[in-house]
Amino acid sequence: MTLKRTVMLMILGSVVSMASTTRVLELSDRFLDIRKDGQWLVMFYAPWCAHCKRLEPIWSHVAQALHNTNIRVGRVDCTRFTNVATEFGVSGFPTILFLNGEIQYTFKGDRTKEEIVNFALRVSGPPVKQITRTESLENLKASNPLFFVYVGDHAGLLWESYSDVAEKFQPHGFFYSVSPEIARKHLTVTSIPSVFVYKENTQYIFPAEPVNEDLEMGHLNASMFGWINVERFATFPKVTRGSINQLLQTKKYLVLAVVEENKLLEIPTEMLVFRDMIESVIIKNREKLHKWFQFGWVGSPELANSIAMSVLPLPYLLVVNSTTNHHHIPEDDPSQLTPEAVTIFLEQVYNHSAPSYGGNTLPVKLYRTYFEARTSLSDMWHGNPVLTAVLFGLPLGFLTLICYSICCSDIMDADDDDEEDMTHEKKE
């Protein structure tokens, strides 16, 4: 053990104390001295913030899941150590950062154990992870629902372009490379080098133009970026507040089946039938629709309500134009829709003959903010009228509301700095 490491461990021992029941390190302001040593996944919280409280048990599970990795999981109470919050530019609670030397990534997804752990694993290694054993590829196919893989030598235009784009999407996807020998055992390899995405037990190949030296690199980069950007989603994913902004980056139409899940994540049968019907449309017409439409389903009607800015009946079908944030709804009662009717409706959306609503103009944005605030308030009121009344009598009520609105801020606000968020520009 080197001297540096020993000293480091001694400092570590003195700045952190381990809560007895969890593997989460409780960090103080002396964390600033060691933040650049090793890899850290840190939650910045405030004791009064309800969303932080909800994250607490999940955070313990995250720490447990990452226990055998090099990533240390900690948390900082920002009301006690305000200088730490300032140093990292933390403005809302909870904020989850991954730190590795100079590199810093902010977690933007849904705060579930799985999402957070996957995020940490993606950003902790190199952007493209190499598969060296045959079994690893087999395991990957069994355990990982969606990943990208490059087959061939680490040289040439296709490789450069793949590794470059992998770096940009590192927080959002798993990227691997594998030798042709290993790949042939588990995948269908038609040309070398090539790039695949593996999802839903199917491989889709990156449609590369023949790679030759005259091919303009910029063109290849752009088509690789475009292809990975749209292929990184499942065919029919669950859409949440944490994932919708990434889905809007596809610049496609988002076709959303809106249903309601209960607390046990169960969906009533008639809604399930509707959701399966919508799914069948994309599965049967992938060739025709995939280029322009990204399908998905929403389990919490309030997300769909705030897009539509009204309380929608259930089940429902909502199509969002990801460039303009306009939305389209079928004229017929959605519960009576057939796959044929859905296809015709989508054609009308595509040829601009379907009526559109909403958008992202300022009045619409203001109205959406108002709608969301009203919904949050009425949820609070229905959840606990006494508490809501008391909270509004107290200055603390404002803090709670601020916390609430930061955490639930405008879903559709895919503005300019989202471009940066998407690639998680490495910040100093």
Strand order in the sheet with 25-27: 17-18, 25-27, 71-77, 39-45, 95-100, 103-106
Nearer to ligand NAG, 218 or 393 (CB): 218
* Binding residue for ligand NAG, selected from 35, 72, 252, 424, defined by CB under 6 A: 252
* Binding residue for ligand NAG, selected from 351, 382, 416, 428, defined by CB under 6 A: 351
- In the complex, the smallest distance separating the C-beta of residue 289 from ligand NAG, rounded to whole angstroms, is 12
The percent of the chain in helix, strand and coil, each rounded to the nearest 5, is 45, 20, 35
Pair 296, 247: CB distance under 8 Å: yes
| DSSP letter (8 states) at residue 334 | G
The residue written with tokens 């601009």 in the block is 352
- In the complex, the smallest distance separating the C-beta of residue 199 from ligand NAG, rounded to whole angstroms, is 22
| Rounded Cα–Cα distance for residues 149 and 163 (Å) | 11
- In the complex, the smallest distance separating the C-beta of residue 215 from ligand NAG, rounded to whole angstroms, is 11
Q: Which stretch binds ligand NAG (CB under 6 A): 193-201, 237-245, 316-324, 360-368?
A: 316-324
203: left (phi over 0), alpha (psi -120 to 50) or beta: beta
Residue 118: which H helix or E strand, with range? helix 113-124
Binding residues with ligand NAG: total (CB under 6 A)? 18
- Residue 413, interface with ligand NAG (CB under 6 A)? no
* Binding residue for ligand NAG, selected from 322, 329, 403, 411, defined by CB under 6 A: 322
**Tokens representing residue 245 in the block:** 């902004």
Nearer to ligand NAG, 300 or 360 (CB): 360
C-alpha torsion sign, points 232, 199, 294, 227: positive
- Residue 218, interface with ligand NAG (CB under 6 A)? yes
| Rounded Cα–Cα distance for residues 173 and 39 (Å) | 19
Which residue has its beta carbon closest to ligand NAG?
218
Nearer to ligand NAG, 262 or 351 (CB): 351
x/- track of binding to ligand NAG for residues 282-301 (CB under 6 A): --------------------
Q: Of the candidates 297, 289, 298, which has an alpha carbon nearest to the alpha carbon of residue 350?
A: 289
Q: Which stretch binds ligand NAG (CB under 6 A): 47-55, 216-224, 263-271, 359-367?
A: 216-224
* Binding residue for ligand NAG, selected from 82, 324, 361, 378, defined by CB under 6 A: 324
First to last CA, the chain: 29
* Binding residue for ligand NAG, selected from 229, 321, 388, 400, defined by CB under 6 A: 321
- Residue 253, interface with ligand NAG (CB under 6 A)? yes
Q: Which stretch binds ligand NAG (CB under 6 A): 246-254, 310-318, 370-378, 387-395?
A: 246-254
- Residue 353, interface with ligand NAG (CB under 6 A)? yes
AA letter at 121 = L
Q: Of the candidates 408, 182, 149, which has an alpha carbon nearest to the alpha carbon of residue 300?
A: 408
- Residue 323, interface with ligand NAG (CB under 6 A)? yes
- Three-state SS string over 220-254 comes to HHHHHHHHHHHHCCCCCCEECHHHHHHHHCCCCEE
C-alpha torsion sign, points 227, 232, 236, 237: negative
| Rounded Cα–Cα distance for residues 424 and 171 (Å) | 7
Strand partners, 177: 130, 150
- Residue 217, interface with ligand NAG (CB under 6 A)? yes
* Binding residue for ligand NAG, selected from 136, 221, 360, 376, defined by CB under 6 A: 221
Query: What residues numbered 125-184 form the site for ligand NAG, per CB under 6 A?
Result: 160-161, 164
- In the complex, the smallest distance separating the C-beta of residue 305 from ligand NAG, rounded to whole angstroms, is 21
Q: Which stretch binds ligand NAG (CB under 6 A): 44-52, 255-263, 270-278, 318-326?
A: 318-326
- In the complex, the smallest distance separating the C-beta of residue 321 from ligand NAG, rounded to whole angstroms, is 4
| Rounded Cα–Cα distance for residues 419 and 424 (Å) | 9
Where does this chain bind ligand NAG (CB under 6 A)?
160-161, 164, 217-218, 221, 251-253, 321-324, 344, 347-348, 351, 353
